[in-house]
Amino acid sequence: MIPMKFVVLSIEREKHGRGDGNGQRRQRTQGSTGHDAFASVGATQFDLTITMRNGTKETYRRGMKLADLIRTLPAILDSATRQQRNVIVRPYGLGVSFIQLDDLRADMLTHLAPAVFLILKTSPGNFQAWVVIPGAEDKVLFKGTKADATASGATRAAGSKNFKDKYAPDFPRVAIEQAPPGRKTTEAELEQSQQSPDA
Residue 165 is given by DSSP the state G
Per-residue pLDDT of the chain (199 residues; tens, 9 = 90+): 333 333 333 223 333 344 444 434 333 333 345 788 999 999 999 999 999 999 999 999 999 998 887 777 657 878 999 999 999 999 999 999 998 998 999 998 988 888 899 999 999 999 999 999 888 765 545 555 555 555 678 999 888 999 999 999 999 999 999 998 899 887 776 666 665 444 4
What domains lie within the chain, and their CATH numbers?
11-193 (3.30.70.1790)
Residues 159, 77 contacting (CB under 8 angstroms): yes
- How many angstroms separate the CA atoms of 54 and 188, rounded? 39
Residues 35, 66 contacting (CB under 8 angstroms): yes
Residues 50, 85 contacting (CB under 8 angstroms): yes
CA 95 to chain centre: 20
DSSP track, 144-157: TTT-BTT--S-EEP
Helices (H) and strands (E) in the chain, counts: 7, 8
**Paired strand residues for 131:** 99
